Structure 1
Amino acid sequence: MERIDFDSLAARIEGPVLLPGQEGFDEERTGFNLAVRHRPEVIVGALRAGDVAAAVLFAAAHDLPAAVQSTGHGFSVTAEGGLLVTTRRMDGVRVDPETRSAYVAAGARFEQVIPEAARHGLAPLNGSAPHVGVVSYTLGGGLALLGRSHGWAADQVLAMDVVTADGRLRHVTPDSEPELYWALLGGRDNFGIVTGMEFGLVPVARLYGGGLFFDLEQAPGILEAYRQWTATVPEEMNSSVALIPFPDDPQVPAPMRGRHVCHVRVAFTGSAEVGERVVEPLRQAGPRLLESLRDMPYEQSADIHDDPPVPMPWAADDAFLADLDGDTVRTILKHTGPGAELPAIVELRHLGGALARRPAHPNAVGHRDARFMLAVLTPLTGDSPAGAQAFLERVFKDLEPWTSGRFLNFMGHGDTADQERTRTAYTTDDHKRLTALKAEYDPRNTFRLNYNIPPHTTSAVNCSETS
């Protein structure tokens, strides 16, 4: 392509337009998962919705695939060529305490929304890590820290501003464009680039939360106790279990240093007194290495999971589970316990409650009837990505008898992000409906550098295809 084409694009963009080799290009294309780096022909660092619209029109005119990146937590496939829109400069946040709602621009993170909402005794339905981008997280469904109590983050969305493949900026609500609204929430970036989002906040100012830490040798008993416990807890109780191999590092608390640990995470929206009583059966499951449960302001809720905010390389995959039994636990521990082929961080999140209910305004988030969600993450510290992907393949192949589809926000990248795996995030009928809407809103599959849903009227375009 002639350089003049990119000059003409830059003339219509307020933000930076970067080409390979230019200063800032490598920083702009790098996200939170360092195992994946886009290699586009051009990057548009959007400052406003008009920049996004101009970039999409340019991509369509030159038959380029278009990708979007906010924080880069949810990488799917590498953009080999094409046009990349980055939205991190679009980070405005407004909170309206009267309507209990917030409006965020495309690049805003939850760590910006949480303190603003907390001033009014409100909270967003963020996940465990506040440094994640609001829009991309929510478009994937948004498995919230308080999900059992208040549902999926996608269920709270009131309106979206989105640029579709025709370059048109649309204001999408459940009433104005119900089909596009339905598809965007769960379909991620297959139907356009969302430049802003309005969503409801929940009246939560504090939690009883934190963790119980056990040695992994106790994991079979702890996980059985956890399974039984989750069948009895109220919707105010939100929890998960993580199996974590901690390094022998001075920054790790001494009781966990160099140990493989079973970490039970708790976020209870009721009183601390009731929370103490509800958690007591887990305390009785075995001797604890450490306990961090306390009454806390919601602004400190990131302490519960303590997800690292530092970018790193990893490979991952996930699956929903209909239940958690002894065979499932033994299979998980066989692959990821002490002596595992590769170090792996495993998390089991308890679902149900409000997550299982239909929202007031329907969306494409699937598998609401699942009882648990299992995610496995393998840090890449010198191990080849291919070896990690093969390891994850073996883990989830052995778990197939108990799994029932995937969750987009926790899926991996590369081969783990192909169209067939993406299909498993939806019911057959919902995926068919999504492909029909894709044909309506993006018939050329311009937005295909993602967990791709191809238009049903054309043959699927390979996820890695470029111009």
Structure 2
Amino acid sequence: MLRPMTYSDADADLAFLRPGDPGYDDELAGFQLGFTQRPDLIAPVRSAAGVVAAVRHAAAGGLPVGVQASGHGLPDGYRGGLLVTTRRMNGVTVDPGTRTARVQAGATWAQVVAAAEPHGLAPLNGSSPGVGAVSYTLGGGFGILAREFGYAADHVRWLEVVTADGALRHVTRTSEPDLYWALLGAGQNFGVVTELEIGLVPVRTLYGGSLAFDGRVVDPAAVLRAYEAWTRTVPDGLTSSFTAVAYPDAPTLPPHLRGTYLVSVTVAYTGEDGEDVTAPLRKIGPVVSDSLRVMPYAQSHTIHNDPPAPHAYCGDSAVLRELDVERAGELLRLTGPEADLMCVVLVNHLGGALARPAPNAVPYREGRFLVRVVGVGERDRARAVLDPAFALLADDTLGRSLNFAFGAGDRGDGLYDPQTRKRLAGLKETYDPANLFRRNHGISSD
């Protein structure tokens, strides 16, 4: 449904930044330090009217458009075009009666959690509180309680989006079902989402945290093998992951992490039998830390303790039919202490509510595990480790996850199954025939 809007340049309060202008470099700053975008124009928007003005300006000049909120998931260091930066649009409004939150384009998950918590509610946020909530949801939104409630995208009520024709649209499942379906799963390929409304869940506390093992004392592959077997016994409402990180002996790291190889299992669970369900994990071997506990949902970011400081990284993912623990063990060897750079390996247990069908473009719901590998440092060095690591999993790989394709350029292969990709490509021809929104992971029917 088109939303009527009248505006002028003054109403939009939009002043473009160009290379060399004061504030240009600061406006580009984000979480990713490995590369940055260098657009011809930056539109630091404050409102939906500003987004309309920016998109119409880009369309008139044939400038490709990109979008940046927190700068976590940049696909590449693009040159030229127009970049819409949304971090000033960071409003969050919670309606406890309907259990919903209206979230503007630049708000982070930390802001949404903080707004929902006083009402005994929680969003389906990811593990990193500094990530943009809207952009993460457009990529699917794999969250802390994903196996209990599904993807964040599954809970979106409506979206407001500026499409390539410069129109601000209010999109619901019934008003524009095709565009609604495409927006939720295809990232920023169909426009600039200025705001959305998302359902919240009645969660005040959860049982969560991690058990960490010394990877030089306990065989990491054995921990992974035990973890995979344990996942076959847990209730659908329990979300968990396996993580392996070989930390370099670097002065920039906290002393207790320097030169360590930590292998851990993380858990998030709203059931009351958390201690009993996780008891088998403590039998794997001696632990170096144990943070499993009942916690307020506002502390859920401590489960994974994602790094808060910006840094350079490159990463990718594989959604697997099944986890071949022997091949995954070889992956751990390639990415462990002997690797050429620090790698973070995460193995997420899928299934549960993630397997339920939903009216959106989030693919591979039949997957049983998601494997992610992030190389910390320069992209070419990281790819030299990541590519052979993922090749080990190729036989069981369904595809890749859009939310975790870090530094992949516009490479879109594997992000969607053939049927989903074909439908997205057709809708791209309808809503963005000139491919204005191409500073993104590309969509192709090939």
TM-score, normalised relative to structure 1: 0.90
Once residues 304 and 333 of structure 1 are traced to their aligned partners in structure 2, the CA distance between those partners, rounded to angstroms, is 22
> What corresponds to 1:431 in structure 2?
421
TM-score, normalised relative to structure 2: 0.94
Question: In structure 1, what residue type is equivalent to 2:362?
Answer: V
CA shift, 1:10, in A, is 6.7
Query: 1:255-294 CA deviation, whole Å, 9 max, x = no partner?
Result: x5421010111111112xx100000001001111111111
Instruction: Say which SS state the counterpart of residue 435 (structure 1) adopts.
Output: helix
Once residues 367 and 20 of structure 1 are traced to their aligned partners in structure 2, the CA distance between those partners, rounded to angstroms, is 41
Tell me: CA distance 1:122–1:253, structure 2 relative to 1, closer, same or farther (3 Å): farther
Once residues 41 and 322 of structure 2 are traced to their aligned partners in structure 1, the CA distance between those partners, rounded to angstroms, is 46
Query: 1:321-362 CA deviation, whole Å, 9 max, x = no partner?
Result: 112223222221221122123221110111110001113xx1
> What corresponds to 2:435 in structure 1?
445
What does 1:210-249 correspond to in 2, within 5 Å? 210-217=209-216, 218=218, 219-248=220-249
> What corresponds to 1:371 in structure 2?
368
Of 380, 387, 393, 2:387 maps to 393
Judge which range, 165-174 or 324-333, deviates more.
324-333
Structure 1 residue runs of 5 or longer lacking an equivalent are 1-8, 461-467
CA shift, 1:250, in A, is 9.2
> What corresponds to 1:298 in structure 2?
297
Identity score, percent:
49
> What corresponds to 1:323 in structure 2?
322
Question: In structure 1, what residue type is equivalent to 2:281?
Answer: L
Instruction: Say which SS state the counterpart of residue 233 (structure 1) adopts.
Output: coil
Instruction: Say which SS state the counterpart of residue 190 (structure 1) adopts.
Output: coil
CA shift, 1:48, in A, is 0.4
> What corresponds to 2:396 in structure 1?
402
RMSD over aligned CA atoms reads 1.7
Instruction: Say which SS state the counterpart of residue 185 (structure 2) adopts.
Output: helix
Instruction: Say which SS state the counterpart of residue 287 (structure 2) adopts.
Output: coil
Instruction: Say which SS state the counterpart of residue 224 (structure 2) adopts.
Output: helix
Q: Does 1:181 align with 2:173?
A: no
Query: 1:95-139 CA deviation, whole Å, 9 max, x = no partner?
Result: 000000000111011111112111111100000011110110000
Question: In structure 2, what residue type is equivalent to 1:332?
Answer: L
Instruction: Say which SS state the counterpart of residue 17 (structure 1) adopts.
Output: coil
Bigger share in helix: 1
Once residues 18 and 326 of structure 1 are traced to their aligned partners in structure 2, the CA distance between those partners, rounded to angstroms, is 50
Instruction: Say which SS state the counterpart of residue 114 (structure 1) adopts.
Output: helix
Query: 1:283-330 CA deviation, whole Å, 9 max, x = no partner?
Result: 001111111111100000000000111111111111111122232222
What does 1:67-216 correspond to in 2, within 5 Å? 67-216=66-215
Tell me: CA distance 1:250–1:344, structure 2 relative to 1, closer, same or farther (3 Å): closer
Query: 1:178-200 CA deviation, whole Å, 9 max, x = no partner?
Result: 00000000011100100000010
Q: Is the 8 A contact 2:327 2:392 kept in 1?
A: no
Q: Is the 8 A contact 2:104 2:195 kept in 1?
A: yes
Tell me: CA distance 1:210–1:252, structure 2 relative to 1, closer, same or farther (3 Å): farther
Q: How many residues align?
A: 436
Tell me: CA distance 1:80–1:224, structure 2 relative to 1, closer, same or farther (3 Å): same
Instruction: Say which SS state the counterpart of residue 206 (structure 2) adopts.
Output: strand
Once residues 356 and 112 of structure 2 are traced to their aligned partners in structure 1, the CA distance between those partners, rounded to angstroms, is 25
Question: In structure 2, what residue type is equivalent to 1:238?
Answer: T
Instruction: Say which SS state the counterpart of residue 262 (structure 2) adopts.
Output: strand
CA shift, 1:45, in A, is 0.3
Q: Is the 8 A contact 1:164 1:191 kept in 2?
A: yes
Q: Is the 8 A contact 1:242 1:348 kept in 2?
A: yes
Judge which range, 207-216 or 217-226, deviates more.
217-226
Once residues 11 and 77 of structure 1 are traced to their aligned partners in structure 2, the CA distance between those partners, rounded to angstroms, is 33
